[in-house]
Amino acid sequence: MIACYGDGDIAVNTRCQQLISMGKIYTPCIRVWSIKVTPSVQLFVFLLLNGRISTQDMLLRKGLQVVPGCALCGSNTVETALHLFFQCSFACQFWSEMSRVTAMPNPSLKDTVLESILATCKGFDGASKRGWEVLTLLSLWTLWCERNHRIFRGKQRPVQILVQKVLQEERYLNGFATPIT
């Protein structure tokens, strides 16, 4: 597993540099580690940017059998990361609610997840840039957790609840609230 937490672990950072030089990971992905969210969220987004999370299309490429379908919107197409986080009707509702509540711009949809996330963050400017980057990473993580929640626990939560979870997590990171359980 690749992990490079800030400047703290020289050995692992060296490994990251090796992977960059080999073209195994993209240089912009390294910036994920400087965004102030928890290490688990950083790692998740890093893996997402590098196409390493276990969506259905990846499982199929590994030769595993899956029943096609999106846990978020219920469509019966093979789940991809691009669909799950950007094209899915449920994800679009979630981003719209995030935008309504926080004034954060809606994400930019490109051909890949990597391009979409980079374009989204590139579109942020001004005093809110850092805060919106944090909210974007927390949002991606929350959508992934909701996807897993539905698949493994069989329970669904509406977009409004998920948006409140993101905002609660942001307040916790800023030291104004208790951790989410």
Residue 85: which of 16, 33, 162 has the closest Cα?
A: 162
CB 90 → Zn ion: shortest distance, Å?
6
CB 109 → Zn ion: shortest distance, Å?
14
Structure tokens at 15: 């490994």
Residue 49: which of 125, 162, 140 has the closest Cα?
A: 140
Does residue 88 touch Zn ion according to CB under 5 A?
Answer: yes
Segment contacting Zn ion by CB under 5 A, of 80-88, 98-106, 116-124, 139-147: 80-88
73 vs 145, beta carbon nearer Zn ion = 73
Judge residue 73's burial from the number of C-beta atoms within 10 Å of its C-beta, 0-12 exposed, 13-18 middle, 19 or more buried: middle
Buried b (16+ CB within 10 A) or exposed e, 44-61: bbbbbbbeebebbbbeee
Does residue 159 touch Zn ion according to CB under 5 A?
Answer: no
33 vs 85, beta carbon nearer Zn ion = 85
CB 95 → Zn ion: shortest distance, Å?
13
Q: Are 70 and 84 in contact (CB under 8 A)?
A: yes
CB 91 → Zn ion: shortest distance, Å?
7
Give residue 37's identity as a one-letter amino acid code: V
Using CB under 5 A as the binding rule, the residues of this chain from 20 to 39 that contact Zn ion are none
Q: What number of chain residues touch Zn ion (CB under 5 A)? A: 4
Tokens 């993580």 belong to residue: 141
Give residue 132's identity as a one-letter amino acid code: W
Does residue 98 touch Zn ion according to CB under 5 A?
Answer: no
Using CB under 5 A as the binding rule, the residues of this chain from 38 to 77 that contact Zn ion are 70, 72-73
CB 122 → Zn ion: shortest distance, Å?
25
Contacts with Zn ion, residue ranges (CB under 5 A): 70, 72-73, 88
